[in-house]
Amino acid sequence: MVTVASRIRLEDRECPLSTTVQHVGEWWTLLILHDAFDGYTRFDQFQESLGISSSMLTTRLKTLVTDGLLERRPYQTNPVRHEYVLTDLGRSLRPVIVALAAWGNSRLAPEERSMILVDANSGEEVEPTVVDAGTGRRLDDSDAYVFTAGPAASPAMRDRYAGPGRGGRVSG
């Protein structure tokens, strides 16, 4: 038997970014979630929209259900057919998908954008940004906002964020 090393380093197993990427960091997974936010729920809708093979779609949908991002519900009894509906956990990923799309659009001229985010009432284009809920300040300034070890951090995580320039606090 051949043992394959984990792609995640030991110190990253507790990192919220690493664990999130395990769930949604795959190309098809993000596109399926995007379609789910657009109201797609049925296997054939996802397959037609994405041009994905049925075996790949089946695998990705099973993973999204197992991870608690989608719920599989029957919508027809004879024969039994299921739809895939976003859970609260799945819906909580919408800001992440919006931010990724906005980042992609920010690199394009306005006339090159194939999809934009608009206010549903006014139809006006909006510019998504990630801000601190307490202050309203944008979080894209890596000098003003840094990661540091949290209360549950292991020694490896604390080492990662120790020292200047690594998010750690340097004591006097």
CA distances from 18 to 25, 46, 56, 154 (A): 9, 27, 23, 15
Query: What tokens were used for 93?
Result: 């990923």
**pLDDT tens, residue order, the chain (172 aa):** 444 445 555 556 677 777 777 767 778 999 999 999 999 999 999 999 999 999 999 999 999 999 999 999 999 999 999 999 999 999 999 999 999 999 999 999 999 999 999 999 999 999 999 999 999 999 988 888 888 888 888 888 888 888 655 554 444 3
What pLDDT sits at residue 164? Answer: 56
- Enter the DSSP assignment of 161: T
Amino acid letter, 116? I
